[in-house]
Structure 1
């Protein structure tokens, strides 16, 4: 099959552009096209549970409303998130913001109480509000129960958040469970530790595995959207080992495979561990999630609405 040149025209839709990528079939364009095809098939398959992992600074990087929209559209059934993405979602839910970095010196930022994530700034005042509000929520939850799983904790938090753009709130309201195996490695985790200095409040990470394994076993098929690498990617893959691996998956990452890290590993490698089934539909795209996934999902939405 020959490589087709990519054609563009005035006023073409995002889905038309991605279709051109798919027709070309090679390099990054071809991988984006295949990923969009797989995502569309996953969403339209009523027998498939769709897991989504969120690694890297996706929420402070502008992806918050997209994740929330996917939940509200019922295009994702389960989320595995870093603690940081949950924290940054709640920072905004409690009235804080993320700001564009304007090239200032990091030592100056430190003096002013501003933290930097690449070209994103977050002020200490916003984290102070977060700390105050999350402690209030911990107080309410712990007054009713002193032993809770991470997933249950996030569900209870989501029910108390009044922000239509919060993915944590949307997940709770739409019964989409959020798992965060690395929650302690975040500002929320720090606040949990501080809270536990004078409260009998146990957050049980192992308890999540009972609920997660039930979801995997009861699903006819499981697909995954892996945004970024690291712990969230591995937790999503490893949770499906118990049933022979994922049936379909796409991943978008900037990590490279040469060093052997999981974040940079192509999805095909997961077949050797039975984290993805032999014969499964897989696509690995190398690039910035905040550029590529909105493009893919916008094209997917257009395809679904046209069917």
Structure 2
């Protein structure tokens, strides 16, 4: 297959330092998939509001991603973008905003994420109204699901379809729902919709039991890893730091050390895109070799850390892998 313009550009010009690491990480990711490997991608930060779904969704459709771990914010913000994008406000001069101007956004119902303001009424309130019905239905049937499973119900039953405000092909959560790939959402209660669910519990409308929790996510992930690692090598592609990466990578030492399944394979590929400075005690900034001592990676695991902006780096790597 002939190289795409982006692939050719990376091969010709990305020859040293962070650029070389990007090129080598992309090449190793592609090799991993071509050799029947599976890949977990983890999403921290505000990748959904950064519209990474435009290319992440294609990675899912083309079977380059097989499981995702993300924050609750990334899970919901992809949907918010799907149903309310035209109501968002772009703030190119966000660095110049005064505290008073920030307060004005709050009063007008806009929540800022760097250069983008998400509208409360058209986004959060709309999603809240429909997820409430899904939670209520589960309660009436004495059923309980993971956070992402409730979202999958909203999407696969076309409940949100009348509100689609972008090309639905650009929603990574919708692409994941259609493929029914697992999504791990550690710390979901930290998200806006998680906060809303907590408020309903405090008002005695629901019980916390209605939404499966983080321990159950870890057990779910452990069973998935045990099943898949028998047939495939499994890689780990981490965008940013935080709980979306720290939580799932621990499944390997948990299985091998805490349960005693000593034959559990290490993660077979590791790459992290991070702008976190390597420093004393930093999890997000820890170099990959530190993970060897914790039983997460092997000394021979291909390891890459790209110290740059994920909104620039991830689309380039994905385009290389897709040969777009």
TM-score, normalisation: structure 1: 0.86
Alignment of 1:145-160 (within 5 A): 145-160=142-157
Taking the TM superposition and a 5 Å limit, the aligned residue runs for 1:228-267 are 228-241=240-253, 242=255, 243-267=264-288
* Post-superposition offset of 1:157: 4.1
Q: Give 1:153 deviation, angstroms.
A: 3.7
Instruction: Please tell me whether residue 203 in structure 1 is matched to residue 211 in structure 2.
Output: yes
Select the residue among 281, 291, 294 that pairs with 2:312.
Answer: 291
Query: Relative contact order: is structure 1 or structure 2 higher (C-alpha 8 Å, sep ≥ 6)?
Result: 2
Q: Which residue of 1 aligns with 2:196?
A: 191
* Runs (5+) with no aligned partner, structure 1: 1-11
Moved runs in structure 1, 4+ residues, more than 6 A?
Answer: none
Whether 1:119 and 2:119 are equivalent positions in the alignment is no
Question: Following superposition of structure 1 onto structure 2, how do residues 5-44 of structure 1 map, counting pairs within 5 Å?
Answer: 13-21=5-13, 24=15, 26-44=16-34
Written as runs of structure 1 = structure 2, the 5 A alignment for 1:104-183 is: 104=97, 105-125=101-121, 126-161=123-158, 162=161, 163-183=168-188
In structure 1, distance between residues paired with 2:297 and 2:154: 32
* Larger proportion of strand: 1
> Residue 29 of structure 1: CA displacement?
1.4
Change (3 A) 1:21 1:251: farther
- CA shift in 2, pair 1:131/1:37, >3 Å: same
CA deviations on 1:171-228 (whole Å, 9 max, x unpaired) are 1221201110111001110122233331345222222223211221122311011011
Provide the C-alpha distance between the structure 1 equivalents of 2:309 and 2:71, rounded to a whole number of angstroms. Answer: 17
- TM-score between both structures, scaled by the size of structure 2: 0.82
The answer to whether structure 1 residue 85 and structure 2 residue 74 are counterparts is yes
Deviates more, 1:176-185 or 1:250-259: 250-259
1:225 counterpart residue number: 237
Partner of 1:64: 53
